[in-house]
Amino acid sequence: MKEIYDKGFSSMERSHQRVLMQMRKAHKQELESLRQEKEQLLAEETRATQAALDAMRKAQEEELRRERDKFLGIIAKTYSQTELEALQTQHESVEDMELLQWEMKQLMEQYSLRCLENAALHQRMEHQTSALQQSRSHSHTLKDK
């Protein structure tokens, strides 16, 4: 009787070990899958952020070019070539350079604010991704129980 009990217990113990090893393997695979998914999401977000920053920079450059062309068109219609040359000489003064520097500073501040907004959105997405992963992990833990 004891022998039958020992054989049954040994069989049950081996079965338990197999199940435990399978669970560990599945857990390890799930962790690796989540890590890969996280890396993929971060890479995608990085690419999207870079694309957004590039698009904003190009849009700002295009807007500056359009405004410059518009300004030059108005100037050309308003003044003769001699008057334009005189105006150009005046624009080379320190006051005009300071005005241009101020305008450039304003544009840089606007660009910086957009970058900060984008960084905040990126951080928010990272937090949401982390929360999602924690929820998945918790869900898997509950399923395993």
- DSSP string across 37-96: HHHHHHHHHHHHHHHHHHHHHHHHHHHHHHHHHHHHHHHHHHS-HHHHHHHHHHHTSHHH
Where residue 44 falls among pLDDT bands split at 50, 70, 90?
very high
- Predicted TM-score (pTM) of the model is 0.39
Query: What's the number of domains the chain is made of?
Result: 1
Question: Residue 123's domain spans which residues?
Answer: 2-144
What tens digit of pLDDT does each residue of 89-139 get?
A: 766 676 777 887 888 889 898 888 888 898 899 999 999 998 888 888 888
